[in-house]
A and B are shown apart, each in its own frame.
Chain A
Amino acid sequence: MNPVLLFLIGVGVVCGITTFLALLVTLAEAFIANYGEVKITINKEKEITVEGGKPLLTSLKEKQIFIPSACGGRGSCGLCKCKVIKGAGDFLPTELPWLSEDEKKEGIRLSCQLKVKTDFEIEIPEELFNVKQYETQVSSLRNLTHDIKEVTLELLEPDIITFKAGQFIQFEVPEYELSDEPVYRAYSVSSAPSDKGNVELEIRLVPNGICTTYVHKFLKEGDKVAINGPYGEFFLRDTNADIIFIAGGSGMAPIKAILLDMAEKGVSRKARYFFGARSKKDLFLTDKMKELENKLPDFRFIPALSQPKPEDRWEGASGLITDVVERNLESGENKEAYLCGSPGMIDACVKVLTKNGVLEEKIYYDKFG
């Protein structure tokens, strides 16, 4: 047979089979996976109607109700919990690792895993209604270290935000090379709450991270960015205990916001801030911390380098952050600790703090999801 003809038949058959199967899948999606419109009743008062078949988290987001989630719906952070009273079936295997026995009894579910197929009745904290979507514009981009960028967003619509120092927002990454759908990632606000018209973030480049790559390689001044928030329970508690801050890398962000807020409000509590970095090139905002040491009556910034290089000529504290904390901690009495950083660092620090007498319920932390 003519080789050209043979080739064309081959291409034709593969295309034909593929088209037929694609048609079948599309039809199945339209008829089998079509759940029509369903109702979600929230806190017994608000009722919304959504298209069925999507995860609860996504359905709520479409109606401008935002449940905090750090991983953007992949089921890997376990944050987007919410109480479901009616509508959900059995617990899914993907939910179980994140739920305790008590939570299961109460009907707490992971909203990113649960698909809304029938009418739902759910309960969410009242303050989540205050969470809003903001249209913003990048007003400045600045390199803090070789891999951490400071991003300042000017709020456009709505033009002011009210939040507590230490809370975080979610940053929407539009479709681009690494992601074919918009995704959300959580970042702590590093500016003071008094600056209501701007939101400042510190974002560290994670190799192949969808959002961090976008921010470091694609984002330009003047670009529009959608954010939503504020979220989170990580903020300074109103007591008179001494404060221990511990952070590493971009964990600086929420602590900086808390310190700025303390300086503005004239909080005079004793505070020590341990900041862990590998070498001098990973240290940043040291001038700002000096300034805060002068402004606040009893505050000291203690950067610690785990692997200082000879050319750093480092004279400050060195060693692992846990060792430095342990050396400088006189006693755990009347102390509150605020930690922000990688899960490994936080777990190690919590161990050291409790060993030295800091009460576990007085340790607050913000783990990177």
Chain B
Amino acid sequence: MSEKAGLFAIFFSAVFTQNILLTYYLGMCSFLAVSRQVKTSLGLGMAVVFVMTFTSGLNWLVFYHILEPLELQYLRFIVFIVVIAAFVQIVEMIIERASDALYAALGIFLPLITVNCAILGVSLFMIIREQGFWESVAYGFGSGVGWMLAILAMAGIRQKMARSRVPGGLEGAGITLVIAGIMALAFMGLSGVI
């Protein structure tokens, strides 16, 4: 396989077959809380794509150029979190300065996802899988897109569901988890593709 095809395969599998949300169940809390409307889900989803892509690259550099030479791999949890938090802070300031519209669409979600476990999960997975720099970026981007796809699908279903009758005990988080489970099953069907 050529290098480009390899990157595409990583991206594609991160979106569908190894979807970070539906196969690993990471990033569940914001997925359940913010998936009421397609519009807000899109904002949050874009913020996740953006942050995942950049932090996977940044954390790759930090891991292979600072932590590994010093044999401090075991510190990656704490270091990755700090890098993600600082990155999100700075990006939020830049967006707020640059454009009100972008800030309204994206900026307000940024502080929310600093603590999203899917973001840290992507950085940790790329180390476990011993991916190279561009592979990690492709994996981060793909995972972000996969996460956004899942939350958009969920928001679409929930918007439709607003007009249907849900049994009393299942309202809210209950039915959402059931739907997430069915969606995960559907995504499993894609596992033969790659």
Q: Which residues of A contact B (CB under 8 A)?
A: 1, 6, 9-10, 13-14, 17-18, 21-22, 24-25, 28-29, 32-33, 89-94, 115
Contacts and interface: CB of A to CB of B under 8 A. Distances in A.
Nearest to A94: B108
Contact of A10 (B72, B82, B93): B72
Nearest to B62: A17
Contacts of B100: 89-90
Interface of B: 40, 62, 66-67, 70-72, 74-75, 78-79, 82-83, 85-86, 89-90, 93-94, 96-97, 100-101, 104, 108
A276 B78 CA distance: 52
Nearest to B90: A28
Contact of A25 (B70, B72, B89, B108): B89
A1 B96 CA distance: 47
Given A32-B93, A92-B104, A94-B108, A14 B86 contact: no
Nearest to B104: A92
* Closest 4 pairs (CB-CB, A-B): A89-B100, A21-B86, A32-B93, A28-B90
A22 B82 CA distance: 9
Given A14-B78, A28-B93, A89-B104, 20 more contacts: A1-B71, A10-B72, A10-B74, A10-B75, A13-B67, A13-B70, A13-B75, A14-B75, A14-B79, A24-B86, A24-B90, A25-B89, A28-B89, A28-B90, A89-B100, A90-B101, A92-B104, A93-B40, A93-B104, A93-B108
A339 B66 CA distance: 64
A90 B101 CA distance: 7
A18 B96 contact: no
Contacts of B74: 10
Nearest to B79: A17
A115 B96 CA distance: 10
B167 to A, nearest CB: 25
A242 B104 CA distance: 49
A329 B89 CA distance: 58
Contacts of B67: 13
Contact of B93 (A21, A29, A90, A93): A29
Contacts of B78: 14
Contacts of A92: 104, 108
Contact of B97 (A6, A14, A18, A32): A32
A94 B40 CA distance: 12
Contact of A18 (B66, B70, B82, B104): B82
10 contacts: A1-B71, A10-B72, A13-B75, A14-B79, A17-B83, A24-B86, A25-B86, A28-B93, A28-B94, A94-B108
A22 B85 CA distance: 10
B47 to A, nearest CB: 13
Nearest to B109: A93
B83 A21 contact: yes
Contacts of B101: 89-90
A33 B82 contact: no
A13 B100 CA distance: 37
B66 A13 contact: yes
B135 to A, nearest CB: 24
A28 B92 CA distance: 10
Contacts of B93: 28-29, 32-33
